[in-house]
């Protein structure tokens, strides 16, 4: 590992303020920002059952919502990213119509808003929803309509949320340029960026350079799934060859950090670059446990990366597969690392700074929504 000259002695916590004992309800109500959430990984189990019955999809392992939810979590916890990804056959299997896509997107916005999420970027792969004849444009428009409906219904329930859409191309397929074109065409209608996803090993991001070059020419934003199951080469390619604005997961950047027994940390050149240039890390703790990137929350690299002041953000990845929410992710991290409201605010501000919407809109959410939402707990 090529070591940089930067050496940091991390403290115990992301902030020096004392931990405040906050109820689960208070944690749910504080404003949260979510950058990494998959639409087809966040369905309500009962919705999967309903949509399967409506569409004639017969592949579900159970038609009981409770049993089905348990099956998703259990199957996704094998320690294999490939096994984890295979469960999505059932979710996108029931998301092949305009009505199904609208319902799932609407419920997604409502569920996130009810959990205190004030801004979310939700991603999905349009190419996975055309098996029954929908055109890519129809898929995108159905999801955008669903999010508009979900925002309206959430507001009627007293919860405000803004949702931006990320369009994902599958890294093993060859439609990334088509999907990138959709990003540009729908960027004034709620699409805020681009992503590639799928198994990392054997499918490097450089296979999609034409899409990334097109997006840069069009001044569009993109994140890349990198550094989850694969290691530092995946991160290096995503940043230095493809020009990613953010890293989807990026947890394996810890492989370029050495920590001495006394707690002194030394960053390799890639890790130093990621920290120095404030590359946002879309960290997903519970998901990483399921795919084998960490053995427990307490051993998750999040704690080290936060102490070293990387731009860490907290994310759900797939709420169905992990039976999780933003509140749950924050609660798990707080139990493991002693975080309190000042840290939660820092994570939310980190994410809001890193969102793919204009600067003035990000700043307004930080100053008018996020900071006031934490004022009573922090100040």
Task: Check if 200 is active-site.
Answer: no
What would the DSSP string read from start to end of 323-366?
A: T--HHHHHHHHHHHH---HHHHHHHHHHHHHTSSS-HHHHHHHI
Helix 371-378 to helix 341-353 angle, to the nearest 10 degrees? Answer: 160
Cβ atoms of residues 225 and 200 within 8 Å: yes
φ, ψ for residue 122, nearest 5 deg: -110, 135
φ, ψ for residue 376, nearest 5 deg: -70, -25
The length of the chain is 379
Which residues lie closer than 8 Å to 77 by C-beta, 6 or more apart? 289, 290
Element (H, E) at 69: helix 65-75
Point out the catalytic residue in the list 121, 228, 282, 329: 228
Which residues lie closer than 8 Å to 297 by C-beta, 6 or more apart? 285, 286, 289, 332, 333, 335, 336
Structure tokens at 122: 């939700």
Which residues lie closer than 8 Å to 131 by C-beta, 6 or more apart? 96
Known catalytic residues are 228
């Amino acid at each position: 590992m090529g070591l940089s000259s930067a050496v940091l002695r991390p403290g115990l916590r992301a902030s020096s303020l004392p931990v405040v004992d906050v109820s689960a309800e208070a944690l749910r109500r504080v404003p949260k920002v979510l950058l990494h959430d998959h639409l087809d990984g966040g369905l309500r189990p009962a919705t999967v059952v309903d949509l399967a019955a409506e569409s004639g999809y017969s592949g579900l392992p159970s038609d009981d919502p409770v049993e089905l939810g348990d099956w998703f979590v259990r199957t996704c916890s094998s320690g294999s990213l490939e096994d984890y990804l295979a469960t999505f056959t059932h979710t996108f299997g029931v998301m092949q119509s305009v009505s199904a896509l609208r319902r799932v997107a609407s419920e997604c916005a409502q569920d996130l808003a009810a959990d205190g999420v004030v801004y979310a970027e939700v991603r999905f792969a349009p190419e996975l929803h055309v098996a029954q004849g929908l055109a890519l444009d129809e898929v995108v428009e159905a999801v955008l309509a669903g999010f508009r409906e979900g925002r309206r219904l959430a507001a009627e329930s007293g919860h405000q949320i803004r949702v931006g859409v990320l369009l994902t191309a599958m890294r093993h397929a060859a439609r990334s340029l088509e999907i990138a074109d959709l990003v540009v065409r729908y960027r004034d209608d709620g699409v805020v960026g681009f992503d590639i996803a799928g198994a990392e090993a054997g499918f490097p991001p450089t296979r999609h350079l034409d899409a990334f070059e097109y997006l840069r020419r069009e001044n569009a934003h993109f994140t890349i799934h990198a550094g989850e199951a694969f290691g530092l080469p995946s991160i290096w390619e995503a940043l230095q060859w493809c020009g990613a604005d953010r890293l989807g997961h990026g947890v394996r950047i810890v492989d370029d950090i050495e920590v001495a027994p006394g707690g002194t940390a030394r960053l390799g050149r890639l890790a130093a670059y990621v920290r120095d240039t404030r590359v946002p890390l879309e960290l997903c703790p519970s998901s990483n446990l399921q795919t084998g990137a960490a053995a427990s929350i307490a051993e998750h690299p999040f704690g080290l990366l936060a102490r070293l002041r990387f731009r860490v953000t907290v994310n759900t990845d797939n709420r169905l597969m992990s039976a999780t929410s933003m509140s749950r992710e924050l609660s798990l991290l707080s139990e493991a690392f002693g975080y309190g409201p000042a840290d939660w605010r820092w994570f939310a501000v980190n994410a809001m700074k890193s969102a793919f919407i204009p600067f003035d809109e990000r700043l307004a959410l930080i100053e008018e929504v996020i900071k006031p939402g934490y004022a009573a707990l922090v100040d």
